[in-house]
Amino acid sequence: MPIRQAQPPDFIHVHDLITELAHFEKAPLEVITTPETLERACCSNSPLAWCWVAENTDGTIVGAAVCYVRYSTWKGPVFYLEDLIVSESHRRSGWGRKLLTAIIEFAKKQGYSRVQWQVLDWNQSAIEFYKQFNAHFDGEWINVHVEN
From first to last of its 148 residues, the chain has per-residue pLDDT tens of 599 999 999 999 999 999 999 999 999 999 999 999 999 999 999 999 999 999 999 999 999 999 999 999 999 999 999 999 999 999 999 999 999 999 999 999 999 999 999 999 999 999 999 999 999 999 888 889 888 8
Assess if residue 38 is contained within a domain: yes
Give the range of the structural domain holding residue 124, as residue numbers without chain letter: 3-131
Assess if residue 119 is contained within a domain: yes
- The C-alpha atoms of residue 64 and residue 68 are separated, in whole angstroms, by 14
- Report helix, strand or coil for 103: helix
Distances from the Cα of 142 to the Cα of 138, 145, 146, 147, angstroms: 10, 10, 13, 16
Assess if residue 121 is contained within a domain: yes
- The C-alpha atoms of residue 121 and residue 6 are separated, in whole angstroms, by 29
pLDDT of residue 141: 87
Assess if residue 138 is contained within a domain: no
Tell me, what amino acid is at 120? L
Number of structural domains found in the chain: 1
Assess if residue 136 is contained within a domain: no
Assess if residue 146 is contained within a domain: no
Q: Does the pTM exceed 0.85?
A: yes
Assess if residue 94 is contained within a domain: yes
Question: What are the catalytic residues?
Answer: 130
Distances from the Cα of 25 to the Cα of 9, 18, 19, 112, 130, angstroms: 26, 10, 10, 29, 17
Assess if residue 145 is contained within a domain: no
Task: Give per-residue pLDDT as tens, 35-55.
Answer: 999 999 999 999 999 999 999
The average confidence (pLDDT) of the chain is: 95
pLDDT of residue 28: 94
The CATH number linked to 19 is 3.40.630.30
